[in-house]
Amino acid sequence: MADRTRHALVFLLLAGARAFASELPVSRGEAVVVTATRFPERASDTPVNVSVITQADIRSSAARTVPELLAEHAGIAARELFGNNAASTTVDLRGFGATAGQNTLILIDGRRAADIDLSGVQWSAVPLTAIDRIEIVRGGGSVLYGDGASGGVINIITQSPLALPNGVTAGAQLGSYATKGFHASANHAGARAALNVGASNIESDGYRANNRNRQATGQADMRWLSEHGEIALKIGADRQGIRLPGARTVQPSAGVNQLATDRRGTATPLDYAQRDGNRATLDWHRAAPFGEFTVGLGWRDKAQRSYFDFGGFPDYRTIDLDVRSFTPRAKLHHGLLGSASTLVGGLDWYRWSYRLRRAPSPASADRPVNTVTAHQENTALYLHHTARLGERWTVVAGARAERYTLDAADAFDPGAPGAAFGSAAAAGQQREMQHAYELALRYRPEPGSALFVKHGRSYRFATVDEIYETSPLFENEFQFLKPQTARDYEIGYETRGNGAALRATLFRIDVRDEIHLDPFTSGIGNTNLPPLRRRGLELEGRYSPHRRASITLAYTHTDAKFRDGVLPGSAFTQQNVAIAGKTVPLVSRHMARLGASWAIDARTRLNAQASYASRQFMDNDEGNTLGATIPAYTVVDVKLVHERRSLRVTGAIHNLTNGKYYTYAVRSQFAADRYNAYPLPERNFSMTLEYAF
């Protein structure tokens, strides 16, 4: 029955997309402004495959968090561990699976949201109410943004106080699992200056035992206008404390199935993690006779604390991280090719300082067993040229060169509590140079339609948390890895008109030396994998059959395979695991989403979405031999929104059909049929109340 439902959904999606295409009127739509070249320009002038999520899209969505909103679009999967306000959620663009967090580059107002550790993005730092738009640039984005953009770039752009009405907005939230929260913001804008301040807090016990989560944010955005430009100063802070329930274990040979017997339980009642962060950015943008330029300065720090009991062998860690950036860039307008063309050039400089302290408990944290320090610096120069050859043709060529330096050291205290079996990693350093390029073409056969092709090279470097591991003798060491490189190819067609739009894209990504956790060694380490390739089809459609109703469709087919290779393994794990031709774990071959929004009357709107993902092989199952997979699932969400003057009330039902599902599971390295899964919430409810003064 599940297969019939899946096939029917895919058939209807494809048939609907063809119908939309045949009905699209040939007319020019509204100009959408994007920053895909790191400067504002019309989306119709960019050859890259870019989608824009607008404020209207956010209002007509059933999503509660940014990852849920992103997952409504073709080519994007959101993988969750707990389903608790996007804590520990990874966004995967174009099927990178377990390494998605390091291959999908997330930006907030053009700056990196992820760091050189593996802690992930703090999604709660950007509530949906603060977003102006989100730009999704599919395919390698290393020319303009550098390291870690092999799958693509997602840029979350917050609202400018200059564009907001003066006043105060306050809201409250209630939901299942003792969820409660509030948010408030105030805006004041004059002729030349504006200020917006906001704060939010959300608390929830979570679906699982030992999964209480509290997230708080605060930010201020100040803008000053001059005759020729703007200065923007943004400061913010975010705090998160979350209890970690661990996994549910399944092992048929031992008669264990905690997914069935105790789905919401915990095997790790003592585990937790805390994270505190602060950030500040300053941007000066100015128009000049030759074009325009921007000078950006950024700073961010983060303090993390985590405790894992490990069945009586505890590990307490504190990580302090500081990053500074300097990102000047300029855009030159010229007519050297006989038409309006632009050349964007710039410098990106980032410097991270990292310190990790390991101890058996918080009480002994003042005398850690290991103190790891690392300093990473990335310096890059890039050029990106866009030539507009008449009204129909746009050609892009870009290149980037980036220098990466990493110095790491490990201090071991043999007299510290818990140091009896410890060791120190020998100090080391790594120096690398990498380059990226991009070639793209956009052809507009008629107003409202375009054909685009793109080819490029991207790369990523290993993070500090990926290189500090243990040897086969369980001694600490720095495992420096080769940079990962990728070449991507895509061709697509898009058309839009009054009330309808369609985008179709074919893509391929060939990856070499992919950086990935190696589960088949006797120690714990990372490795450069044999060659992989990812290819697929993305379809997105939107249709408004009536001025009060709209329908959105998205379908993604992803074929992610290892092209070659054998993982040697060890005496303690599987040996000689053949992976050539095997499917990359944690990648669904089919994903489909159907959304609908209906304005019942002038004040009330009903939004609904159904999301489907086909089965996936589990993490650590590179050989596809476990015999069990993450099952296919379908999730339905509905949301009702009512607005009356300054009041906005929202009620939502999530997972309407009460499905029991999970999006992440990991195979055991040692027991042939054992795996751990992370179940997500069944049917649950939420309600928000917001008032603008």
Q: Which of 507-511, 541-545, 554-558 has the lowest mean pLDDT?
A: 541-545
Contact (Cβ atoms closer than 8 angstroms) between residue 553 and residue 593: yes
pLDDT of res. 36 = 64
The mean pLDDT value for 525-549 works out to 90
In a domain, 3, yes or no: no
Q: Dump pLDDT digits (tens) for 264-308.
A: 999 999 999 999 999 999 999 998 888 899 999 999 999 999 999
Half-sphere exposure at residue 144, Cβ-oriented, CA atoms within 13 angstroms:
30
Burial class (CB within 10 angstroms; exposed 0-12, middle 13-18, buried 19+) of 431: exposed
* Inter-CA distances, 376 with 21, 147, 280, 323, 528, Å: 49, 13, 20, 9, 20
In a domain, 246, yes or no: yes
Q: Dump pLDDT digits (tens) for 345-392.
A: 999 999 999 999 999 999 999 999 999 999 999 999 999 999 988 888
Confidence band, pLDDT 50/70/90 cuts, at residue 337: low
The mean pLDDT value for 325-348 works out to 87
| DSSP SS3 for 108 | strand
The mean pLDDT value for 504-525 works out to 80
Contact (Cβ atoms closer than 8 angstroms) between residue 360 and residue 417: yes
Q: Closest by alpha carbon to 365, among 426, 408, 303, 279?
A: 303
Local structure of residue 191 (DSSP, 8 states): S
The mean pLDDT value for 579-608 works out to 95
Q: Which of 57-66, 208-217, 403-412 has the lowest mean pLDDT?
A: 57-66
The mean pLDDT value for 488-506 works out to 92
pLDDT of res. 10 = 37
pLDDT of res. 247 = 95
pLDDT at 150 over 50: yes
Q: Report the percent of the chain where pLDDT is more than 70.
A: 91
Tokens 């049929």 belong to 673
pLDDT of res. 13 = 35
In a domain, 36, yes or no: yes
Q: Write out the DSSP string of 577-602.
A: EE-TTPBPTT--SEEEEEEEEEESSS
Element at 58 (helix H, strand E): helix 55-59
Confidence band, pLDDT 50/70/90 cuts, at residue 32: low
Q: Closest by alpha carbon to 134, among 61, 70, 47?
A: 70
In a domain, 4, yes or no: no
Confidence band, pLDDT 50/70/90 cuts, at residue 572: low
Mean pLDDT of the chain: 88
Confidence band, pLDDT 50/70/90 cuts, at residue 432: very high
- Those residues with Cβ within 8 angstroms of residue 226's Cβ, 6 or more apart along the chain or in another chain: 192, 286
The mean pLDDT value for 635-647 works out to 94
Cα 279 to Cα 299: distance, rounded to the nearest angstrom: 6
Burial class (CB within 10 angstroms; exposed 0-12, middle 13-18, buried 19+) of 628: middle
Pairing of strands 684-692, 167-175: antiparallel
Cα 456 to Cα 141: distance, rounded to the nearest angstrom: 8
Q: Dump pLDDT digits (tens) for 66-101.
A: 999 999 999 999 999 998 888 889 999 999 999 999
Q: Write out the DSSP string of 107-173.
A: EETTEE---SSS----GGGS-GGGEEEEEEEES--HHHH-TT-SSEEEEEEEPPGGGSPSEEEEEEE
User: Tokens in use for 507?
Assistant: 């893509």
The one-letter code for the residue type at 254 is A
In a domain, 17, yes or no: no
Tell me phi and psi for residue 334, to 5 degrees: -155, 170
pLDDT of res. 42 = 63
Q: Where are the alpha helices (DSSP H) in 123-175?
A: 142-145
User: Tokens in use for 222?
Assistant: 């100040």
Domain carrying residue 564: 24-692
pLDDT of res. 661 = 97
**CA 374 to centroid of chain Cα atoms:** 25
Half-sphere exposure at residue 158, Cβ-oriented, CA atoms within 13 angstroms:
23
**CA 692 to centroid of chain Cα atoms:** 31
In a domain, 12, yes or no: no
Cα 320 to Cα 354: distance, rounded to the nearest angstrom: 6
| DSSP SS3 for 573 | coil
Q: Dump pLDDT digits (tens) for 600-610.
A: 998 999 999 99
Local structure of residue 98 (DSSP, 8 states): G
Local structure of residue 617 (DSSP, 8 states): P
Cα 165 to Cα 637: distance, rounded to the nearest angstrom: 31
* ∠ CA 524-529-532, rounded to 5°: 145
pLDDT at 429 over 70: yes
Q: 522-539 b/e with 16+ CB inside 10 Å = b?
A: bbebbbebbebbbbbbbb
Contact (Cβ atoms closer than 8 angstroms) between residue 43 and residue 503: no
Q: Closest by alpha carbon to 96, among 450, 561, 623?
A: 561
In a domain, 10, yes or no: no
The mean pLDDT value for 551-561 works out to 96
Q: Report the percent of the chain where pLDDT is more than 90.
A: 68
- Measured from the Cβ of residue 217, the count of other Cβ atoms closer than 10 Å reads 22
Q: 649-688 b/e with 16+ CB inside 10 Å = b?
A: bbebbbbbeeeebbbbbbbbbeeeebbbbbbbbbebebeb
Element at 102 (helix H, strand E): helix 100-103
pLDDT of res. 404 = 96
Task: Give strand pairing partners of 307.
Answer: 272, 316
Number of domains present in the structure of the chain: 1
* Inter-CA distances, 553 with 24, 64, 588, 609, Å: 15, 19, 17, 10
Task: Give strand pairing partners of 434.
Answer: 402
The one-letter code for the residue type at 604 is T
Q: Where are the alpha helices (DSSP H) in 177-329?
A: 258-261
| DSSP SS3 for 10 | helix
In a domain, 657, yes or no: yes
- Measured from the Cβ of residue 601, the count of other Cβ atoms closer than 10 Å reads 8
Q: Is the torsion defined by CA of 48, 54, 57, 58 positive or negative? A: positive
pLDDT of res. 17 = 34
pLDDT of res. 59 = 82
Confidence band, pLDDT 50/70/90 cuts, at residue 116: confident
User: Tokens in use for 426?
Assistant: 């020998």
Q: Which of 58-67, 143-152, 377-386 has the lowest mean pLDDT?
A: 58-67
Contact (Cβ atoms closer than 8 angstroms) between residue 113 and residue 121: yes
pLDDT of res. 550 = 92
pLDDT of res. 7 = 40
Q: How far apart are the first and last CA of the chain?
A: 51
Confidence band, pLDDT 50/70/90 cuts, at residue 31: very low
CATH number (domain holding residue 183) = 2.40.170.20
Element at 3 (helix H, strand E): helix 2-23
Cα 412 to Cα 370: distance, rounded to the nearest angstrom: 5
pLDDT at 508 over 50: yes
Tokens 């979405």 belong to 609
Q: Which of 223-237, 284-298, 563-577 has the lowest mean pLDDT?
A: 563-577
* Inter-CA distances, 357 with 118, 367, 559, Å: 16, 9, 41
Burial class (CB within 10 angstroms; exposed 0-12, middle 13-18, buried 19+) of 457: buried
